[in-house]
Amino acid sequence: MGPLMLDCQAEELLPEEKEKLTHPVVGGVILFSRNYHDKRQLSALVQDIRRFAKRPVLIAVDHEGGRVQRFREGFTAIPAMGDILRQSEHQDESAVYAKACGLVLAYELKTLDIDFSFAPVLDINGVSQVIGDRAFSDSADDVIHLAAHLIQGLKAVNMPAIGKHFPGHGSVAPDSHVALPVDEREFDEIRSTDMVVFERLIERALLDGVMPAHVIYNQMCDKPAGFSTKWLQDILKQDLGFGGAVFSDDLSMHGASVAGSYVERAEAALEAGCDMVLACNNPKGAETILDGLEKRFANPSNSDLQKQKRVMALYDRIMPVGLNDKYDSAVELVKRLSER
């Protein structure tokens, strides 16, 4: 399993995409709304990805709920995470709704052989232009509480939980898709306001993966977190003890451009501590990564093999049998929440 997760352009694989899937650097595919027409078509696309790859690859999607739900027609409408607490009468009820959301989104993806969603969002709803109601709350304690219950729902279906965007994107305004946000706060404030969410969930062994933010925290490091050894090696892995998989955010985002060319971005992210890098919405950029990393991953180092081991742990987790009744009950809860 290689270190690059790339995308595809349509509802069926293009001839050149079938060829790319055999490349040793490819380790995954992320799906978007443009790849979806209906469940039958999506199932065929997933089967084709696995068939043409000829080896294990991760298949993922951003399917958080609210405005970030890639598949809609034929899927249960998952509300924005920020609606869960607002629409609940008390905290216990919000926890039940959060777990139901996790179970439903995981079940509906798993039945189509999709390995995971990049979820949950663990940012707080602060001043960010891109996070907003993707976050559970503006309070770290509420985010921890609701995320833990949503993850219980994911785990009931045996789906990995991938927390994002470490150490927290919610307290800086610019959108890292189109800008390079700089958070000027001291570390202690970042830790107590934002990073504490990741810290508590890691302590409880609830996160299988983490995605760092394309944000510079300039009191700590002059690089975005996803390219920073300080953030990924020293803080995430050593201080917090995280041993799961680390995925870069999309290397096509403006917040990643500071790291150089596409190949330089991929190399910098992998050297900093990412196990797999994402390159989306720019096929030519992804191709340069394939070419640039081919020689390295033809003979992977021990470090590269460890990276492969961490991402392989997320592959082909079998959904337990006998979940139909729990799924049906969870769907009713999610619909009730959406109708409030």
Active site residue ranges: 177, 249
Which tokens sit at 144? 């921890």
Handedness of CA 260, 314, 69, 49 (dihedral sign): positive
Which tokens sit at 315? 């592959």
DSSP state of 322: -
C-beta atoms surrounding 164 within 10 Å: 24
User: 319 Cβ partners below 8 Å, 6+ apart?
Assistant: 107, 110, 111, 157, 158, 159
> CB of 235 within 8 A of CB of 213?
no
Q: Tokens 């290689």 belong to which residue?
A: 2
DSSP state of 71: -
Q: Tokens 């052989």 belong to which residue?
A: 113
120: cis peptide before it, omega within 30°? Answer: yes
Cα 176 to Cα 163: distance, rounded to the nearest angstrom: 17
Which tokens sit at 333? 């809860």
Question: How is 219-251 classified by DSSP, letter by letter?
Answer: TT-SSBGGG-HIIIIIIIIIIS---SEEEEEET
DSSP state of 279: E
Amino acid identity, position 167 = P
Which tokens sit at 81? 């995470």
